[in-house]
């Protein structure tokens, strides 16, 4: 979810043999709470006292739409040894079953005459849907992939959606190229999570941390799906703009088990009887202090968020991986900062086009936990430009080499001659909501996933949605 994170590729997973019941010893069900607007299902709060009751039979697990290729002008399919003939449907064309060669690239393209899959001309200029049997036996790669092993398999189905506007081939930009399309994975949310958890957490993280992450990630995904703009053909990105998602290749036994054992459980917030799911943000390492979505991201989204000081709780190590609790300093010349600020500002902060050099950068505001939430940039004329914490991080990191990037905006800028030194850095990411290294620390202390996730979102309740 957080653009600062970079995860190693986990080992290839074994598929889960079956679905086990949710184990939630402290859950109580209470009928009457309906989240139909955002969840599309009856949802029951969970607490202490009773065993779980099944939700109504008509309630199905939600499907989410994950954009795995964006504005591609070609793609490649790779069938495994398990693959049976693939069912392909072209809107406005025909539905056929295709035999794909094993472990070899089969190109997909949208031509003026319609969809082409390998040597099969399917026609149609609308969406193209592909369903593999068995699920995950056909993988997808972009047109630049050099090896079949680079392709990724996905559960659910794949839908290829044209993105180029008619007659726009002469315009600039990838989305305007004739024959451009998105590849969107339509997948049950719990199957989606199997490919998210291992991409978001390190392999050595505790099972209870994985389960807590599963509940937060499920809540975020369903919220995104239920609030996607009308007419948009996808709900989620497959990278840190939403949540990291690697499909079947990213799955591990630990990620599969966490998704299965928390199936259907989400977070909700609000007055009793009127709870709603919310945008459950999380980041890698809070560095000892969190912030609200308004403070960190400039969003007024409702939810159980507060500025909290948690000390050095997330300063821990998992195997060979260590939380980025303390870091820095990062030193950048004022001239280079001015260049980055203006370049980033073209599309994100137009006021920066009036910036004339950089005289200094300083903290303008901190929250109740002591984390900087607003920064002031003063140019050589004395003009001041106010930026939110994540705005500053993105602006400083724009077109920057890795060594000059800020892992977070929990930092103190100090102007020293021709440079700005970003000192006393803490954390990794935006610090809003759940902290992944905090949940690992709590899991090591023996806390269960329910207690962990409630601590991350104070005042939230766990509810069963399907």
The confidence score (pLDDT) of residue 57 equals 52
The confidence score (pLDDT) of residue 125 equals 82
Half-sphere exposure of 241 (CA within 13 A, CB side): 7
210 backbone dihedrals φ, ψ, rounded to 5°: -60, -40
Q: Which residue has the higher pLDDT, 339 or 25?
A: 339
Unique residue bearing structure tokens 């004395």: 382
pLDDT band at 173 (very low <50, low <70, confident <90, very high): very low
* pLDDT (average), residues 55-63: 72
18-22, 126-130, 188-192, 269-273: which has the minimum mean pLDDT? 18-22
Cβ atoms of residues 77 and 117 within 8 Å: yes
The whole-angstrom separation of Cα 316 and Cα 234 is 36
The confidence score (pLDDT) of residue 37 equals 38
pLDDT band at 164 (very low <50, low <70, confident <90, very high): confident
The confidence score (pLDDT) of residue 166 equals 54
User: Residue 25 pLDDT > 90, yes or no?
Assistant: no
Q: Where are the alpha helices (DSSP H) in 157-288?
A: 189-200, 207-226, 253-261
User: Residue 247: left (phi > 0), alpha (psi -120 to 50), or beta?
Assistant: left
Nearest CA to 340 out of 284, 277, 406 is that of 406
The confidence score (pLDDT) of residue 33 equals 38
What is the chain's mean pLDDT, rounded? 88
pLDDT band at 56 (very low <50, low <70, confident <90, very high): low
The whole-angstrom separation of Cα 158 and Cα 156 is 7
Q: Which residue has the higher pLDDT, 170 or 310?
A: 310
Q: Where are the alpha helices (DSSP H) in 233-333?
A: 253-261, 293-297
* pLDDT (average), residues 131-139: 95
Cβ atoms of residues 349 and 395 within 8 Å: yes
pLDDT tens-digit readout, 225-244: 999 999 999 999 999 999 99
* pLDDT (average), residues 24-41: 39
The confidence score (pLDDT) of residue 289 equals 98
- Counting residues of the chain whose pLDDT is more than 70, the rounded percentage is 84
* pLDDT (average), residues 104-129: 92
Number of Cβ within a 10 Å radius of residue 352 = 20
85-99, 178-192, 260-274: which has the minimum mean pLDDT? 85-99
Nearest CA to 266 out of 189, 337, 154, 335 is that of 189
pLDDT band at 95 (very low <50, low <70, confident <90, very high): confident
Burial class (CB in 10 A: 0-12, 13-18, 19+), 440: buried
The confidence score (pLDDT) of residue 87 equals 95
* pLDDT (average), residues 399-415: 97
pLDDT band at 273 (very low <50, low <70, confident <90, very high): confident
The confidence score (pLDDT) of residue 91 equals 86
The confidence score (pLDDT) of residue 50 equals 37
The confidence score (pLDDT) of residue 124 equals 84
Give the predicted TM-score (pTM) of the model: 0.87
């Amino acid at each position: 979810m957080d653009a600062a994170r970079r995860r190693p590729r986990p080992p290839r997973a074994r598929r889960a043999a079956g679905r086990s019941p949710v184990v939630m010893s402290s859950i109580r069900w209470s009928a009457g709470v309906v989240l139909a607007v955002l969840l599309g299902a009856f949802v029951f709060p969970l607490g202490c006292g009773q065993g779980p009751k099944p939700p109504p039979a008509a309630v199905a697990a939600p499907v989410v739409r994950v954009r795995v290729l964006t504005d591609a002008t070609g793609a490649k399919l790779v069938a495994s040894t398990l693959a049976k003939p693939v069912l392909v449907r072209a809107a406005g064309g025909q539905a056929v079953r295709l035999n794909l060669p094993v472990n070899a690239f089969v190109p997909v393209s949208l031509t003026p005459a319609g969809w082409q899959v390998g040597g099969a001309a399917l026609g149609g200029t609308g969406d193209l849907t592909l369903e593999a049997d068995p699920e995950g036996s056909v993988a997808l790669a972009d047109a630049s992939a050099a090896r079949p092993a680079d392709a990724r398999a996905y559960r659910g189905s794949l839908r290829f959606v044209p993105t180029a506007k008619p007659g726009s081939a002469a315009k600039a930009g990838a989305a305007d190229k004739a024959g451009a399309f998105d590849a969107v994975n339509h997948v049950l949310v719990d199957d989606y999570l199997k490919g998210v958890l291992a991409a978001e957490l390190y392999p050595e993280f505790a099972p209870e941390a994985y389960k807590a992450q599963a509940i937060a990630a499920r809540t975020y995904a369903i919220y995104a799906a239920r609030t996607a703009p009308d007419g948009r053909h996808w709900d989620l990105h497959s990278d840190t703009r939403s949540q990291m998602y690697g499909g079947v290749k990213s799955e591990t036994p630990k990620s599969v088990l966490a998704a299965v054992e928390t199936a259907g459980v989400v977070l909700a917030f609000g007055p009793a009887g009127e709870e709603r799911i919310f945008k459950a943000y999380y980041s890698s390492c809070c560095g000892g202090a969190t912030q609200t979505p308004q403070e960190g991201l400039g969003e007024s989204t409702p939810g159980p968020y507060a500025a909290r000081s948690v000390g050095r709780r997330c300063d821990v190590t998992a195997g060979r991986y260590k939380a980025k609790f303390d870091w820095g300093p990062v030193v950048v010349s004022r001239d280079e900062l001015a260049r980055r600020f203006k370049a980033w500002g073209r599309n994100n902060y137009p006021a920066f086009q009036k910036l004339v050099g950089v005289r200094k950068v300083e903290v303008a505001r901190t929250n109740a936990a002591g984390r900087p939430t607003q920064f002031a940039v003063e140019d050589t004329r004395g003009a001041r430009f106010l930026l939110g914490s994540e705005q500053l991080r993105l602006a400083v990191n724009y077109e920057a080499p890795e060594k000059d990037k800020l892992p977070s905006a929990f930092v103190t800028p100090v102007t020293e001659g021709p440079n700005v030194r970003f000192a006393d850095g803490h954390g990794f990411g935006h610090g809003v909501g759940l902290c992944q290294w905090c949940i690992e620390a709590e899991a090591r202390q023996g806390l269960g996933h329910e207690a962990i996730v409630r601590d991350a979102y104070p005042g939230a309740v766990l509810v069963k949605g399907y």
